[in-house]
């Protein structure tokens, strides 16, 4: 399998464990804040399950980043503020 730039920057098992320990979370606590089972946290830290490689999905990597930044939960954008238009919404 050819590596891509996305795979090169993916979170590795050691990175995941370092994230958890940097926040002083047990495996059980990390599972709770990420909405996972403790066993899945163990698979991510080991990098394998039953001899098969386990990759850490992008949504989990993003959740790790949010938790590290202090985000407890997210209910979507504020109803008070209109969404920012992106470049494709603007007329030339």
The predicted structure's pLDDT at residue 8: 65
Please state, in angstroms and rounded to a whole number, the distance separating the CA atoms of residues 1 and 46: 21
Q: What's the pLDDT band for 91 if we cut at 50, 70, 90? A: low
The per-residue pLDDT for range 2-32, each reduced to its tens digit, is 444 455 679 999 999 999 999 999 999 999 9
User: What tens digit of pLDDT does each residue of 33-64 get?
Assistant: 999 999 999 999 999 999 999 999 999 999 99
Domains of the chain: 5-68 (1.10.260.40)
Decide: helix, strand or coil at residue 48.
strand
Q: Are 48 and 3 in contact (CB under 8 A)?
A: no
């Amino acid at each position: 399998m050819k590596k891509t730039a996305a795979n090169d920057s993916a979170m590795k098992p050691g990175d995941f464990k370092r994230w958890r320990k940097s926040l002083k979370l047990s495996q059980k606590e990390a599972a709770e804040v990420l909405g996972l089972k403790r066993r899945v946290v163990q698979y991510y830290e080991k990098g394998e399950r039953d001899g098969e490689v386990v990759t850490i999905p992008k949504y989990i990597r993003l959740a790790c980043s949010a938790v590290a930044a202090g985000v407890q939960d997210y209910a979507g954008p504020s109803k008070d503020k209109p969404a920012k238009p992106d470049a494709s919404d603007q007329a030339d």
